[in-house]
Chains A and B, each alone.
Chain A
Amino acid sequence: MNRFLIPFALFIFLLIMLGLGLRLNPHEVPSPLIGKPAPGFQLSQLQAPDKFITPQELKGQVWLLNVWASWCVSCRLEHAALMDLASQHRVTMIGLNYKDTRLNGINALRELGNPYQVSGFDENGRVGVDFGVYGVPETFVIDKTGVIRYKQIGPLTAEVITEKLLPLIKELNRA
């Protein structure tokens, strides 16, 4: 065996490892918030500024918190999947309109359709910071006792919804 082949052999090993590493999903970094109670907040509703929304009102049901903004391109990609989800399944979906202006937010929903029961208006992103949002869109699944069970970073796709979200929501509803 040619000893000059050793570097090559080591390299092939490295290449295989890196290849395996690529299949891992770095987005599945466990969020420190999973398993913890959702942060409390009180926000003015996007479409009714004099009304408020807080997570306390939602205790006893499983709900989704979807962080979105009119300026966010990926949110537009995700929107169709959200509309389908809202129309085909009975899911409580709350929007968190993140760092937006009220007018742009309302117009976006008017133009694309509104999948949310209600959207909180998080003008300066304060609530988003509490939820550890680092990119829009993000979606949280929160159980009946107000504990965060799942976090999706980036747009929801039909695949994620049918394979992950719906089974999880079903299971949490049974609990």
Chain B
Amino acid sequence: MIPEIGNFSLMLALCLALIQGIVPIVGAARGNQRLMQLARPTAAGQFLFVSLAFGCLVYAFVTNDFSVAYVETNSNSTLPLHYRVAATWGGHEGSLLLWVEMLVLWMNAVALFSRQLPSAMVARVLGVMGLISVGFLSFLLFTSNPFARLLPAAINGHDLNPLLQDIGMIIHPPLLYMGYVGFSVAFSFALAALMGGQLDASWARWSRPWTLLAWMFLTLGIFVGSFWAYYELGWGGWWFWDAVENASFMPWLVGTALIHSLAVTEKRDSFKNWTVLLAIIVFSLSLLGTFLVRSGVLTSVHAFATDPRRGLFILVFLGIVIGGALMLYAWRAPQVGLGGRFSLFSRETMLLLNNVMLLAAAGTVFLGTLYPLFLDALNLGKISVGPPYFEAVFVPLMTPVLLLMAIGPFVRWKEASLKEVWLRLRWIALVAVLSGIGLALTLKFSMLMTVGITLAAWVLLATVFHVAQQLRNGAGKLLSLPRSFLGMVAAHIGIAIFVIGVTLVKGHEVVQDANMHLGDKATVGGMDFRFIDMKKIHGPNYEAAQGTFVVTRHSVEVAVMKPEKRLFTVQQMPMTEAAIDRGLTRDLYVSLGDQTSANSWVVRIQHKPFVSWIWGGCLLMALGGLLAASDRRYRLKKL
């Protein structure tokens, strides 16, 4: 009975979405207030019904209702309760429902915090979001109904994939989707502005906080996914350039370009066409990501369900949404003015370069991700593009971005003097180069190390210097500086810290695979790892072999590490549970491979310097997004 209520709620939500997608937009075109005012109540109604449906699905999981096919494939009665709840979005149907739930959340946030916006604008924004909702709700109902019954009902379920039985996997999809779907707000604002023909600074000011928030969620989502891969997959890698990772990384890159471009549009009324196009591209990439993951056109570790009918549906949907948006753009953009003029050396130019480079970087990721598909589609063979390609093209593109990032904030709007900027930054440039070369020489010289550390130091020092200057110029205390400025500082420092982490991990990590007997000793990164014990342990839903390693440095004990090899009993799936000893300047990482004889195992021992800085950098970037979004200028009154 409960699943049928869920199903029926989805149908009602679809009807409301249809009304919301059509009536307010027609109203805005005709200037009819009564039609426009339908946008808010229909959005609220959708929220009610989609949430009800979501609740019904959670209920089916909690009560182990294996007569629902989706519950049967993704859960099991022995699964602990919190994982049963999380299993709601563990598969295709449920994660789409989560997508729609996020969409209605954003939609209602916009409805709530848009009271002082012109009513036609609100009607159009909510109308566009309603149309997106129509697409996703019909996708759910017609091709991937999470409430479909299984007849005859199963006695027990298949269990949730053990890889997903982890706190990281509980929060990763909701964060990522909040980011993806959040960009639909920027997209809707852009389309609304194109429809109304009023692309101006106020439009940019309205969409900025939403875009920043979406960007923050996406940053956190990618971070959690990467962090999870690091500790859960057991190989010590943190980024694999996997198609699905790339699908989340492309909107991040273009989203980063968009938040910078919006700043120009807001402050200088320039780049208007460009900003609108970026807003369209960001959301298109989010939709494309969904298509790539859900249609199964790309094989990937993430590909759950592959059903060509679903793929076709999303493809048609993509065609309508993105194609329609780009047609509207082609039609309306020529009428938008150029806005404020600027000279060759100015903040505008810096930001334009930043935009172009980020877009180019997203383009290379895009090509690398889809190239195998294109070749296959043209019958030119099956190939796969791996990390070597991405590292070879991506790193050189990021180098100028980092270079400009430090300079940008020092350059004035409209027209600036190159000489003045050079005079202010020359000492910082010198210190950065020296520290890069110095550190590389003391550790292990390589071009990558030198360039990486130099750039990170350059960004870090220049940003700190900028803050110091602001404070000296009488801006008062650090925390009384404008939030948007603090946000930029936090995010830029975050990037610098991230780059330091990546450079040192790449350039200085030590990995050793050894076949170790009980009592053996291995020396990695100046530390001795002694394999002293191996025992069997019983977990709640797995059996495991657990090794014990004592780590010493100059005979002083540093850590005791207990890596495990688990066998999950329901799915009979082996899992490597690495032991990680975290530190500010290094992680020690021990994972168990296969057993080679009665008391010997293949062991992988890794010494990874500054890994924590990668995570710290990501968190600072997200914090930056949050700070900037909470700037006083955007604080919208509720009523």
List chain A positions with a Cβ less than 8 A from chain B.
Answer: 2, 4-5, 7-8, 11-12, 14-15, 17-24, 26-27, 29-30, 71, 73, 99, 124-125, 129
A125 surroundings in chain B (CB, below 8 A)? 572
Partner of B318, one of A15, A30, A129: A15
Q: Could you tell me if B303 and A26 are in contact, using CB atoms closer than 8 angstroms?
A: yes
Partner of A8, one of B72, B295, B327, B382: B327
Using known A-B contacts A26-B299, A73-B154, determine if residue A17 contacts B323 with beta carbons closer than 8 Å: no
6 contacts between A and B (CB under 8 A): A4-B329, A11-B322, A15-B319, A21-B374, A27-B306, A99-B572
Q: Could you tell me if A21 and B330 are in contact, using CB atoms closer than 8 angstroms?
A: no
B150 surroundings in chain A (CB, below 8 A)? 73
Q: 3 tightest CB-CB pairs across the interface, nearest first?
A: A20-B377, A8-B326, A125-B572
B370 close to chain A: CB less than 8 A? yes
Q: Which residue of B lies closest to A10 (CB)?
A: B326
Using known A-B contacts A18-B291, A18-B315, determine if residue A4 contacts B376 with beta carbons closer than 8 Å: no
In the bound complex, CA of A26 to CA of B419 (Å): 57
Q: How far is the CB of B459 from chain A (nearest CB, A)?
A: 32
Q: Which residue of B lies closest to A129 (CB)?
A: B572
Interface residues of B in 309-345 (CB under 8 A from A): 311-312, 315, 318-319, 322-323, 326-327, 329-330, 333-334
In the bound complex, CA of A83 to CA of B183 (Å): 52
Interface residues of B in 220-276 (CB under 8 A from A): 273
B308 surroundings in chain A (CB, below 8 A)? 22-23
In the bound complex, CA of A100 to CA of B291 (Å): 35
In the bound complex, CA of A20 to CA of B373 (Å): 9
In the bound complex, CA of A4 to CA of B284 (Å): 17
Q: A7-B329, A17-B373, A21-B374 are in contact. List 6 more A-B contacts (CB 8 A).
A: A11-B322, A11-B323, A15-B318, A26-B297, A27-B306, A124-B572
Q: Could you tell me if B377 and A24 are in contact, using CB atoms closer than 8 angstroms?
A: yes
B280 surroundings in chain A (CB, below 8 A)? 7
In the bound complex, CA of A139 to CA of B404 (Å): 57
A99 surroundings in chain B (CB, below 8 A)? 572
A15 surroundings in chain B (CB, below 8 A)? 315, 318-319, 323
Q: Could you tell me if A12 and B323 are in contact, using CB atoms closer than 8 angstroms?
A: yes
A19 surroundings in chain B (CB, below 8 A)? 315
In the bound complex, CA of A11 to CA of B333 (Å): 17
Q: Which residue of B lies closest to A71 (CB)?
A: B154
B329 surroundings in chain A (CB, below 8 A)? 4, 7-8
B296 close to chain A: CB less than 8 A? yes
B377 surroundings in chain A (CB, below 8 A)? 17, 20-21, 24
B423 close to chain A: CB less than 8 A? no
Q: How far is the CB of B304 from chain A (nearest CB, A)?
A: 11
Q: Which residue of A lies closest to B376 (CB)?
A: A24
Q: Which residue of B lies closest to A104 (CB)?
A: B155
Q: How far is the CB of B202 from chain A (nearest CB, A)?
A: 23
B295 surroundings in chain A (CB, below 8 A)? 22
Q: How far is the CB of A125 from chain B (nearest CB, A)?
A: 4
B50 close to chain A: CB less than 8 A? no
In the bound complex, CA of A152 to CA of B590 (Å): 38
Q: How far is the CB of B538 from chain A (nearest CB, A)?
A: 16
Q: Could you tell me if A20 and B322 are in contact, using CB atoms closer than 8 angstroms?
A: no
Using known A-B contacts A11-B326, A17-B377, determine if residue A22 contacts B297 with beta carbons closer than 8 Å: yes
Using known A-B contacts A2-B334, A26-B306, A124-B572, determine if residue A17 contacts B315 with beta carbons closer than 8 Å: no
Q: Which residue of A lies closest to B73 (CB)?
A: A73
Q: Could you tell me if A22 and B311 are in contact, using CB atoms closer than 8 angstroms?
A: yes
B186 close to chain A: CB less than 8 A? no
Interface residues of B in 343-385 (CB under 8 A from A): 370, 373-374, 376-378, 382
Q: Could you tell me if B323 and A21 are in contact, using CB atoms closer than 8 angstroms?
A: no
